[in-house]
Amino acid sequence: MSAPANPNKALWEKGDFTRIADTMRESGEALVRRLGITKGLKVLDLGCGDGTTALPEARVGADVLGVDIARNLVEAGNRRVAEAGLMNIKFQEGDATNLEQLPDKSFDLVVSIFGAMFAPKPFDVTKEMVRVTRPGGRIVMGNWIPNDPTLVAQILKISSNYTPPPPEGFVSPMTWGIESNVIERFVAAGVSADKISFARDTFVFNYGGTPSAFVDEFRKYYGPTMNAFEAAEKKGRAAELQKELEALFNSQNKSQDGTSIPATFLRVTVAV
Ligand SMILES: C[S@@+](CC[C@H](N)C(=O)[O-])C[C@H]1O[C@@H](n2cnc3c(N)ncnc32)[C@H](O)[C@@H]1O
């Protein structure tokens, strides 16, 4: 008998997140430069995608393991590693809610930028992140913020108006952008609240085409937007969704000859 489908895995394998990740590389590199990574540091990049932060971590000398639930993104990450000729990084499949393949206290730094926030069961996620971090180590998360006026929070908000209500018991990934929720989840995993700090940070999406063409990339390749369009099409509302997203992308664009859109996120740092 085959195992029941995992909707979390199916969502991220559905599209091709590499198309969106390609527009996030500069911010990924800049964020890694701010993390103070030293040569030989053991880093777990969780929900690593195709390595927007994981490759820069390896380039500054860390020993990096990238873990992601989506098989296609793990394969894409390993291809990028081979192309870059990096020997100190590898990617493997895994689920942030259950990292059973990883021993306790095995990483100096666990990084999860817009990654673990998308896993279900947030209390299992903090338990696992804390378990694999060595005492004296650090966890850094990047989480989108609910109702923030900038790009990603607004894409997810607009999309939710077109999709059916989630199943009972579903915890929205956006709750990871609320400080009190983050504190509650890490405290439940045994971290003292005074070891958790927060900062607002920015990722910039840089795309060579127009904002409307960038909306099309999300429509074709970004799992959550693909689902929103599928639901909207069933109700004959796809054109309305397209229009709302184009208005959003155009109003937030800062570039004259392409697309450059900043998006605010909550950076969480936990001292373990
Ligand atoms: C928005 S992408 C971000 C990827 C990458 N961190 C980046 O910044 O480009 C979200 C990533 O989280 C991964 N993900 C979602 N749920 C996960 C889970 N339960 N365990 C591990 N990875 C997960 C997805 O497959 C996807 O690669």
- Give the model confidence (pLDDT) of 22-47 as tens digits: 999 999 999 999 999 999 999 999 99
Average pLDDT over residues 182-201: 98
Q: What is the mean pLDDT of residues 105-134?
A: 98
Average pLDDT of the residues of the chain: 96
- State yes or no: pLDDT of 4 exceeds 70: no
Ligand 1: which of 6, 11, 16, 17 to mutate, judged by most atoms within 8 Å of the beta carbon? 17
* Mutation probe of ligand 1 site: the residue of 114, 141, 205, 226 with most atoms within 8 A of C-beta: 114
| Nearest-angstrom CA–CA distance, 35 and 15 | 30
The atom number, within ligand 1, closest to the CA of 70 reads: 25
Q: Which of 20-29, 77-86, 152-161, 164-173 is least confident? A: 164-173
Q: In the structure, what pLDDT confidence band is assigned to residue 239 with cuts at 50, 70 and 90?
A: very high
Rounded-to-integer distance, Cα 67 and Cα 216, Å: 28
Question: Is 1's pLDDT higher than 60?
Answer: no
Q: Full-prediction pTM beyond 0.85?
A: yes
Residue 259 to residue 194: CA distance in whole angstroms? 40
Whether 117 contacts 144, CB under 8 Å: yes
For helices 71-84 and 7-14, angle between their N-to-C axes, nearest 10 degrees: 50
**Nearest residue (CA) to ligand 1, atom 13:** 47
Taking the CB of residue 264, how many other CB atoms lie within 10 A of it?
A: 17
Between CA 30 and CA 19 the distance in angstroms is: 19
**d(Cα 268, Cα 207) in Å, to the nearest integer?**
27
